[in-house]
Homo-oligomer: A and B are copies of this chain.
Amino acid sequence: MATDSSGTESKPPVRHHDNYEKRLSLILKAASKIIARDGFAGASVRDVAAKGKIGLSGIYYYFESKDELLYAIQRHSFSTLVSLLKERLETCYSPEDKLKAVIDNHFQFFVKNRDEFRVCVHEMESLSGKYYKTVLKIRQEYFQLVRGVIDEVLRGSKDETDLTALFLFGSLNWVYMWYDPEKNYDVDKLSSQYLRVLLNGINKSQEL
């Protein structure tokens, strides 16, 4: 990750032009859109290039392969998700508040980054090798974070905490299959309702 660490060979330092970063994130945005629409295997680098207003071979100046493109999207998105959650959790005290922060954070990230979210959830297993392992680590960090919060609320057995966490992730991640931005859901209301169901079950949902 370091731009210039000593290897066996001294590499010439790379001085990027001013809009290198903008181009890069433009390509990432385009790739997210295309991959979200066609799936990773179904998406073509040519389509990504077209959407990103760059030539086909231009992509390979910024990324060494199609795989690295997916890797970059997932790594960046998951890292952001973890960072945002950590920040939020610091200002929470009760276990229930933390759980609400988890749900809020997840939903909000989804709403603000629909394509990236979809690519992260739907293409979890499209990577392999080094790329897969690196992303898996971040995903696991996120899972453990959420698992810890659930454990605080639940204080049950390990198995129960695990299962509850998996149920939670299921509901949260499934959202991209039915959420319609046209209908303009209130995200706060969405996560509040979900928190209530999770805490009190649907039998009590009439109250309040």
Contact = CB atoms under 8 A, between A and B. Distances in A.
Interface in A135-160: 150, 153-156, 160
Contacts of A60: none
A66 to B, nearest CB: 12
> How many copies make up the complex?
2
Interface string A189-208: 01001100111111111100
A175 B164 contact: no
Interface in A163-189: 163-164, 166-175, 177-178
B41 A38 contact: yes
A177 B171 CA distance: 13
What DSSP secondary structure best describes chain A's contact surface?
Answer: helix
B170 A202 contact: no
A156 B201 contact: no
Contact of A39 (B39, B153, B177): B39
A197 B155 contact: no
Contacts of A172: 170
A124 interface: yes
A42 interface: yes
Interchain residue pairs A-B with the least CB separation, the first 4: A170-B174, A41-B42, A201-B201, A170-B171
